[in-house]
Structure 1
Amino acid sequence: MKKNILLTLIILSIFIFTTHAYNLNNKDQLFINNITLKIEKIISKKGEKYRNLFINKLTKYSIKYRDTKPRYSEIFIGVAENITIEAIPKKCYLGMEVPSDLMRFSKDSPWRQKILSTQTLDSNSDAMIANLKKILTIDLKKSKAVLNPSIQKWSSPVHIIDSDNCELFDVQNENGSYHDSIDPDRDGIIKNIPIPKEIWAEPEVDGHTILIDLNKRKVREFSRFQQLSNGKYQASTAAIWDLDSKGIGKAFDGKTWYRQGVNGAGTSYFGGMITFEEMKAGKIEHVLAVSTPANRKKMSKGGAYNSELCADVATRTDGWGIGPEFILEGQKIQLNPDLDLDKIGLSENAKIIARALQEYGAYVMDNARGFNLIMQNMDSDGSGKTWIKDFSDVNLFDIPLDEFRVLSCDNVMRK
């Protein structure tokens, strides 16, 4: 409704200005050309959607004035016919605005499943949370064991692109090959990646960046991504996901299994990320992602296997802890669904995240020196200023860590 009103005002303003600037005695084609140029300037910034809206609105005006003001009618239809497809900008880089209603993979994807009321807890859930608290407060000497939103570092920007309008580059790995799914000949080169010049990577050493093509339905993820002085691009790990797939890989897959994904668990980095637009919309409808300092390598010393993971989403692990008190990478953590969010004083914005943690939970996807919630990095300088400006009241630190629990894993894989 607001968009239609805006278009009406724009068209009428342009029409009035043009008819005022050019005497009505001038040729009609002069009006048509002038109005067309002004509208095309707007379209060049807004894109094809606005072009179609303009044409529809102009056509309606033409019909409206056909009997009472035929000359106006002719001018409106003339402009509608005059707006060219060339007015639509052909851009590679489309910004960082991830549509809030963008579905994370297919309907049957683990990333989109709510936690069932029948879901059981891990038999060591209490010990796992107690161990997480101990590591945070005693080993890492933090003043308080809390969930921390990663808005400044140890996260990733998300860049929206239109591959059809991008220059293509090869991305190289100087330290070996990528996973076989994207580097089948194991030459350490991923070929023909659309990369706009405007993108940037997370400022910390992990250097994550994510490119999403909404038209092609592709998500390209990279770690330690950078452009070298010779103009070439390199990344230590990479993954390409289809938005219409489940968004998961196969655990310990192939000889290069340890190269899957761009995080410790080899999951999709975007799959559990909270985006800026989701928070503005006030609703999160997917499983979240967290990193912790208490991730498991294996249950006990010795044995016939070296590491283990929860294979709902994890494909590899960089867990280090040995013992049942450590959490598997790929395992899901849930905020107590019976916790009254009002009683603990959460802000309305914090409740958006807390409800998602109650309804969907969060997969453990990486090691970290904190209990960190993965959120879209919006600022190349690592300041977090974009988040702070609009969401400074997200007081997740008021959630007691004892209100979290670890869900059982029905698909433990070992290697």
Structure 2
Amino acid sequence: MRVLLGTVVALVGITGSACQSSVATASPLLAPGSPFRTTILANAALDPNSEAMIARISRGGGVNAGLIDFALPVYQVTPDTPRHKVSCTMSWGRCPFDGVDVPIPVGARPHRGSDGAMVVLDERTRQAFEFWQAHDNGDQWSTSWGAVTNIDGSGWDRGATASGASRLAGVVRIEEIANGEIPHALAVATSDACAGTFRPPAISTDGRSSRSDCVPEGTRIRLDPGVDLDALTLAPAVRTVARAMQLYGAFVVDRSGSPLSMGFELDTTAPSGSIGAVYQQAGLRWDYDDLPGVPWDRLQVLA
């Protein structure tokens, strides 16, 4: 199950019947003790196979930033947002939306990538409604699968990703790029996710690789804290991501089509085909930007 390319959020204010994007400061997501909100000790132990695993996932020379096709729109709702019955088309058990009146704003749309992903965020009830391959059928919504998660939880509460991570966990937000700080671990995906095995906090996997240098979903990676970012010529957005990768690292939450990919918030106000003004002003260039200038071969796999 290829659920998403990364964990990305677009905060959207609802005015009348139209969806409007917002870069306003949002309430903190996830509990303070969540793995996504804990920093990594500089002397943290590394996996004995770290060097081989990193050589494998860094072979592309960069990290693909999903800024359009696989950037995940998340719609923030109000008590007046219309409610819908949502059916699941996959027979993987009881649909998480059974018996739930799901708030979906008028004008909400999943991203245009094959995952068809979307999240509806209800700050009032502290719930996230997560969709994989969502479809608006006119009078009723359907989705291949989904989840209803607690946004004050750990971020690993059976969310709608292959590893069990919530789609909200690890999001790189427009607000964070604008402010130059990401105060949490990120979420990444790789084509080299291991088949049949995963590591806590992951609870499942869709990995397919049987190579000895595959990376289990749930694995936490980081950028070597010994890398002097101030000595590198980096675009502001790339520096912000690299710093977060040193302090908090990233969790492998899914399988993707590239060696290493990272999702970003979708800028729903951007013209078609554009990544949006905030990203452009911070030095990002296009969808699947490879975040150049960072020695990505100096990533490390934590034990």
Q: TM > 0.5 between the two? A: yes
Structure 1 stretch 337-346 or stretch 201-210: which is displaced more? 337-346
In the alignment, does 2:223 pair up with 1:325?
no
Matches of 2:253 and 2:92, distance apart in 1: 22
In the alignment, does 2:156 pair up with 1:248?
yes
Change (3 A) 1:161 1:236: same
Change (3 A) 1:281 1:247: same
1:53-202 alignment runs, 5 A limit:
95-97=20-22, 99-100=24-25, 102-134=27-59, 136=60, 145-162=61-78, 164-177=79-92, 182=96, 189=98, 191-202=100-111
Change (3 A) 1:175 1:128: same
Change (3 A) 1:264 1:336: same
Unaligned runs of 5+ in 2: 1-12
Bigger RCO (CA 8 Å, 6+ sep): 2
Q: Choose which of 374, 395, 408 in structure 1 pairs with 2:263.
A: 374
Unaligned runs of 5+ in 1: 1-46, 48-88, 137-144, 184-188, 250-259, 298-306, 409-415
Q: Choose which of 339, 350, 359 in structure 1 pairs with 2:247.
A: 359
- CA drift at 1:203: 0.5
- CA drift at 1:384: 2.0
- CA drift at 1:356: 0.4
- State the match for 2:231 in structure 1: 343
Letter in 1 for 2:56: N
1:95–1:160 CA contact under 8 A, matched in 2: no
Aligned to 2:230, the other structure's residue is in SS state coil
1:93–1:159 CA contact under 8 A, matched in 2: no
Change (3 A) 1:179 1:105: farther
Matches of 1:375 and 1:393, distance apart in 2: 11
Aligned to 2:128, the other structure's residue is in SS state strand
- CA deviation map 1:217-273 (0-9, x unaligned): 1111111111114x1101111111222222223xxxxxxxxxx43222221111101
In the alignment, does 2:140 pair up with 1:212?
no
- CA drift at 1:175: 2.8
1:148–1:396 CA contact under 8 A, matched in 2: yes
- Larger-Rg structure: 1
1:173–1:234 CA contact under 8 A, matched in 2: yes
2:145–2:160 CA contact under 8 A, matched in 1: yes
- State the match for 2:197 in structure 1: 308
1:203–1:382 CA contact under 8 A, matched in 2: no
1:113–1:287 CA contact under 8 A, matched in 2: yes
- State the match for 2:282 in structure 1: 391
- CA drift at 1:310: 1.2
The Cα RMSD (Å) is 2.4
Matches of 1:112 and 1:92, distance apart in 2: 35
TM-score by length of 2: 0.85
1:104–1:111 CA contact under 8 A, matched in 2: no
The number of equivalent residue pairs is 284
2:133–2:143 CA contact under 8 A, matched in 1: yes
- CA drift at 1:403: 1.2
Matches of 1:101 and 1:109, distance apart in 2: 18
TM-score by length of 1: 0.63
Q: Could you say which structure has the higher helix fraction?
A: 1
- CA deviation map 1:265-284 (0-9, x unaligned): 22111110111111112211
Aligned to 1:126, the other structure's residue is in SS state helix
- State the match for 1:279 in structure 2: 177
- State the match for 1:225 in structure 2: 134
Change (3 A) 1:390 1:90: closer
Aligned to 2:156, the other structure's residue is in SS state coil
Percent identical residues: 26
Matches of 1:264 and 1:286, distance apart in 2: 20
1:151–1:387 CA contact under 8 A, matched in 2: no
Change (3 A) 1:176 1:278: same
Q: Could you say which structure has the higher strand fraction?
A: 2
Change (3 A) 1:376 1:279: same
